């Protein structure tokens, strides 16, 4: 079973209060789950990695054998796909965790879209952050 997982992470301030969001759907677009997670104080890049990890783990829990991760962070996508090296020491454990989360799938891809094409995941991040006010 394949799932398309739109993920986003964000912080209000960098670092600041942060959240991750994942919207899991069938390839036809039927949403099967939405998951938001508060992260405490974190940077935007940490939140983006946490969103990818959250989405991959939820997809596995739902029984997916193939996953297409869609995000709006070119940096994270290129690091996970091996096109960019992970230079920042704090990002290396998150990068390894993301690869481990993706490693359980028969096939996976991480691709980047423009922010407006990831609006539902972005809205979930903001709703998660707003819920703690």
Per the domain annotation, does 96 fall within a domain? yes
- For the chain, the average pLDDT equals 97
Tally of CA atoms within 13 A in the half-sphere of 27 that contains its CB = 7
Per the domain annotation, does 34 fall within a domain? yes
* Distance between CA atoms of residues 98 and 102, nearest Å: 6
| Residue 73: domain span | 2-127
Which CATH number do you get for residue 123?
3.30.420.10
Token pair for 26: 């069938």
Per the domain annotation, does 116 fall within a domain? yes
pTM of the model: 0.97
For the chain, the domain total comes to 1
Per the domain annotation, does 133 fall within a domain? no
Q: pLDDT by residue (tens digit) across 59-115?
A: 999 999 999 999 999 999 999 999 999 999 989 999 999 999 999 999 999 999 999
Per the domain annotation, does 132 fall within a domain? no
* Distance between CA atoms of residues 114 and 70, nearest Å: 10
């Amino acid at each position: 079973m394949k799932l398309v997982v739109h993920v986003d992470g964000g912080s209000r301030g960098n670092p600041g209060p942060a959240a991750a969001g994942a919207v899991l759907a069938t390839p036809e677009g039927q949403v099967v789950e939405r998951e938001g997670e508060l992260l405490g104080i974190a940077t935007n890049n940490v939140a983006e990695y946490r969103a990818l990890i959250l989405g991959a783990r939820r997809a596995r829990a739902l029984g997916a054998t193939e996953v297409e991760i869609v995000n709006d962070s070119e940096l994270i996508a290129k690091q996970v796909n091996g096109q960019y090296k992970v230079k920042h020491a704090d990002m290396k454990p998150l990068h390894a965790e993301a690869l481990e989360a993706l490693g359980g799938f028969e096939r996976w891809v991480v691709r980047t879209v423009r922010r407006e094409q990831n609006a539902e995941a972005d809205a979930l991040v903001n709703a998660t952050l707003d819920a703690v006010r």
